[in-house]
Amino acid sequence: MASKMIRRGAASWLGFGRKQVGSVVRGTSRPAPPVPPHVPRPPYADSGNPGAYMPDITELTDEQVLAMRQASAVAKDVLHLAGSLVRPGTTTLEIDDALHAATVEAGAYPSPLNYRGFPRSTCTSVNEVVCHGIPDDRPLEDGDIISIDVSVFYNGVHGDTCRTFFCGKPDDATRELVTTTKHALDAAIAECGPGVPVAHIGDVIEQVASRGGFGTVHDFVGHGIGPVFHTRPQVYHFAGSGSSEVLKEGTCFTIEPMLTAASPKVTLWRDGWTVVTADGGRSAQFEHTLLVTPSGVDVLTAYPGEHEPDVGAGPVE
């Protein structure tokens, strides 16, 4: 199966091999527009090198906590705009152009841009693309789902949030996948607080997922977040991770489960970024940036209307 997918990826670059597995074919991308010079940049913006892999998390100062609230609010607003742009015929490049413009307009730097060489400002992951999809010129189709992951660097820290949106009218099974993914994130958030084992988060997510008959992707984790985009702890989204870390008051972290309609096994396109399910089944993702408080967590990227019925995945028509 893996070798079949690799051949498909190669074929997609050449414009052949359409619709062999799943439904998404690789389109053509182009470089992101520049970020104006007055916008403060994270240390990796020019080199592409964010430094050591997942360094230890540090407790945030009061000033940094305030910055986390502001950066997360910018990310949430940009993601809200994203939801309004999803419709059949629109390309993920057009969406990314608009989100890039809104981010820099807010005085923020789009965190993915040149992070380990990522070429664009947001990740747009359609149907069987699990995460890290590169915005390109494939028009969205009625019935698609699209995960848009917005992260921004603002006031010296990063905010990070993702949702899966419906494009037009997906089928019932797809809707169930998306709403269950949102419920898995919400159920995990409800149990978080100081001293809670990070491993408990994965237990809760897997319980919700498996009750719905869905898989949970093992290969990508949530993470500590602050002045550095990705720090410890690694937040696994499946049960039995064996992590011994606990949540610490005054730190920020993300939870970002990816659920799959069928097998949670993933494979990578030849572009080195696009992660897809190995079997072509669909995948959904939701992510919030959270602050550990004395009594629980604050959802810093809470989304307008997110607790109303049926706004799991807008845009609402």
Gap between the terminal Cα atoms of the chain? 39
Which residues does 5 contact at the CB level (< 8 Å), separation at least 6? 21, 267, 276, 278
Token pair for 117: 């060489």
Contacting residues toward Co ion, per CB under 5 A: 149, 151, 160, 162, 254, 256, 287
- Find the residue with minimal CB distance to ligand MF3: 112
180 versus 254: smaller Cβ distance to Co ion: 254
Q: Between β-strands 215-216 and 258-260, what pairing exists: parallel, antiparallel or unpaired? A: antiparallel
One of 12, 70, 76, 115 touching ligand MF3 (CB under 6 A)? 115
Q: Min. distance of Cβ 150 from Co ion in angstroms? A: 7
The 130-149 contact track toward ligand MF3, x by CB under 6 A, reads --x----------------x
Q: 12 and 272 in contact (C-beta within 8 Å)? A: no
One of 124, 151, 174, 267 touching ligand MF3 (CB under 6 A)? 151
Kindly identify the residues of this chain, within the stretch 204-263, that bind ligand MF3 according to CB under 6 A: 256
Kindly identify the residues of this chain, within the stretch 153-182, that bind ligand MF3 according to CB under 6 A: 160
Residue 59 amino acid letter: E
11 versus 302: smaller Cβ distance to ligand MF3: 302
Which residues does 300 contact at the CB level (< 8 Å), separation at least 6? 68, 69, 72, 73, 76, 159, 252, 288, 289, 290, 291
Residue 93 belongs to what H/E stretch?
A: helix 92-105
Q: Min. distance of Cβ 158 from ligand MF3 in angstroms? A: 9
Q: Min. distance of Cβ 164 from ligand MF3 in angstroms? A: 13
One of 96, 97, 279, 287 touching ligand MF3 (CB under 6 A)? 287
Q: 63 and 156 in contact (C-beta within 8 Å)? A: no
118 versus 166: smaller Cβ distance to ligand MF3: 118
The 56-95 contact track toward ligand MF3, x by CB under 6 A, reads ----------------------------------------
Q: Min. distance of Cβ 54 from ligand MF3 in angstroms? A: 11
Q: Which range, of 19-27, 43-51, 109-117, 289-297, touches ligand MF3 by CB under 6 A?
A: 109-117
For residue 60, the SS3 value is: coil
198-211 helix and 172-190 helix, angle to the nearest 10 degrees: 150
How many residues touch ligand MF3 (CB under 6 A)? Answer: 11
Q: Min. distance of Cβ 193 from Co ion in angstroms? A: 20
Using the rule CB under 6 A, is 96 a contact of ligand MF3? no
Phi and psi based region of residue 81 (left: phi greater than 0; alpha: psi -120 to 50; beta: remaining) = alpha
Rounded-to-integer distance, Cα 125 and Cα 276, Å: 9
Torsion on CA atoms 56, 61, 62, 63, rounded to nearest 10:
-100
Q: Which residues bind ligand MF3 (CB under 6 A)?
A: 112, 115-116, 118, 123, 132, 149, 151, 160, 256, 287
